[in-house]
Amino acid sequence: MAMPVNVPHVGENLEAAMKSQIVPDQEFLLQGSVLDTSLGVVIDRLRGLCDNADILPETFHDHEVVFVLKDFSAMSTPGPASQGVMLRVRRAMDYPDLPYQLRYVGYPELGNYPALLRNCLDIPVSNNVCEFLTELGAKLDHEFIAKGFIMKKGRIKVTVFKMYKMGIGMAKDNLEQMTMSHMVELSVLTTKTDMSVAEDLRALADQLKPLVQLERIDYRRLGP
């Protein structure tokens, strides 16, 4: 039922991956931000460092809706159990024909990894996924707009984007920016055993210093 109709082959791929026990379901992540005034410099530097330096970086304009699935009748106690599971639905506003993307992101793993390591599953879904999730009992938690650039260097995905709050009236043009900075993320999907790629991630992050400080940041330690 959750299997999307328009992209069946992805589901098959997933099944094959599960059978062979090699699932790239771990994500290494480094995060940082850059002030809007220095965005051009960072983009130029990234274009030089990443693949396809000769063409302009690809842009994206996504709308993300985050649902929470948990036992809403239970008493609200502090701790991860009461926070439920966050399910993120993304759609490309600039390419309405593309399938929606459903994403599960786990909590950051504890341990001394070179980058933040977390469980991560992505799957393309049909555009009625929101209704489906609501039927499952998930509740809409929040939503936002992300607009920016995407580049790649080998297996590393580099995104530079700005997040906007959605206005009260939910109008698509009524956007309020979150901060005066662009978010910079370096991420790579891998299996847990593959540590070498995390070192590549660090090397790329070091080359962006001191323009951007990319670090492993656990949002749960940032305080309320």
User: Tokens 């656990």 map to which residue?
Assistant: 218
Nearest distance from C-beta of residue 52 to another protein, angstroms:
16
123: tokens are 């799957």
* Mask for 16-55, x = binds another protein (CB under 8 A): ---------------xxxxx-xx--xx-------------
Helix axes 39-49, 196-207, angle to 10 degrees: 130
Q: Between residue 58 and residue 77, which ones bind another protein under the rule CB under 8 A?
A: 66, 68, 72, 75-76
Question: Residue 138 interacts with another protein (CB under 8 A)?
Answer: no
Nearest distance from C-beta of residue 123 to another protein, angstroms:
20
87: tokens are 């399910």
Nearest distance from C-beta of residue 4 to another protein, angstroms:
25
Q: Judge whether 8 and 189 are in contact, CB under 8 Å.
A: no
Nearest distance from C-beta of residue 137 to another protein, angstroms:
14
Q: Judge whether 144 and 64 are in contact, CB under 8 Å.
A: yes
Question: Residue 222 interacts with another protein (CB under 8 A)?
Answer: yes
What 3-state DSSP class applies to 37? helix
What 3-state DSSP class applies to 48? helix
158: tokens are 């580099």
57 or 182: whose CB is closer to another protein? 182
Question: Residue 219 interacts with another protein (CB under 8 A)?
Answer: yes
Pairing of strands 26-35, 58-69: unpaired
Question: Residue 197 interacts with another protein (CB under 8 A)?
Answer: no
* Given 101, 113, 124, 141, the residue binding another protein (CB under 8 A): 141
Q: Measured between alpha carbons, how far is 84 from 72 in angstroms, rounded to an integer? A: 9
10 residue type, one letter: V
> Which residues form the interface with another protein (CB under 8 A)?
31-35, 37-38, 41-42, 66, 68, 72, 75-76, 78, 82-84, 141-144, 163, 165-166, 168, 178-181, 183, 207, 210-213, 217, 219-220, 222, 224
